[in-house]
Structure 1
Amino acid sequence: MTNSIAEIENADFLFVIGSNTTEAHPVIALRMKKAARRGATIVVADPREIWLTKLAKYHLQLQPGTDVWLINAMMHVIVSEDLVDHDYVREHAEDFEAVKEVVLRYPPEEAQKVTGVPAELIRKTAREYATTDRAGVYYTLGITEH
């Protein structure tokens, strides 16, 4: 997770990837459901139709094992469209230029061929994530083990 558990309920955008949260972490899932009821946008990136996809604005049904392609393509959009929070990067990131160099090699059109997720959906998700003040990324073993 990129945010604390307490912040989930007040998030305005939740990007859930590689996590069947309702099965593996029901307490966290309850907070996500509360955020959704409050009007938060949920996007689920998962090959499977998990319970949380019922609440999702978008279900990015990517091919298994292509998470890195999807994430890098989203970062490509954020960098190429200058949606980066430059103040945050300046204070908290190291060698961001190297990251930019890598992610610019992952255009959404190429990611679509690998992940199966339409390029325009990758763009929409990246833009919404980058332009929402209270956004978070939520992942579990589906990401960290693959």
Structure 2
Amino acid sequence: MGVLNPARVLVLGFLTIIIIGALLLMLPQAVVGERLSALEAFFTSTSAVCVTGLVVVDTGTTFSVFGQLVIMFLIQIGGLGFMTMATLIFMLLGRKISFRNRLLISESLNQFTVQGVVALVRIILVYTLAVEGSAALILALRFSRDMGWI
């Protein structure tokens, strides 16, 4: 099979994330009550990673907090892209991003050059954190009046 081209790596990466997500959703700790079938778990995982919002079971009543966190992380990985998340991990570990990885990142972000790709990932992550953090704070303050703090 040799060296994988960027498109194959991206497809295999998403497939791997979907499979891991489905396996996690099939754990007894991920659901409240009856276990999910493999088809329901794979559909839910695929829907979360592809950020479609389609569901075959009620997320709020079927999944435990652990299951809901798995779905949340799958949505985050799918929304930002797993190469963006991989770049974040490399940056947090202080590792250099190789040219091959820069090619993969540029492919996943639909960029025509590898120049400035890591800087673009930083901008995406900072913007995402700022928007999601602000929204979470606003919603928490609003809902705490009605529901109190946990």
The TM-score, its normalising length taken from structure 2, stands at 0.31
- The structure with the larger Rg is 2
Of structures 1 and 2, the one with the larger relative CO (CA 8 A, separation 6+) is: 1
The TM-score, its normalising length taken from structure 1, stands at 0.32
More helix by share: 2
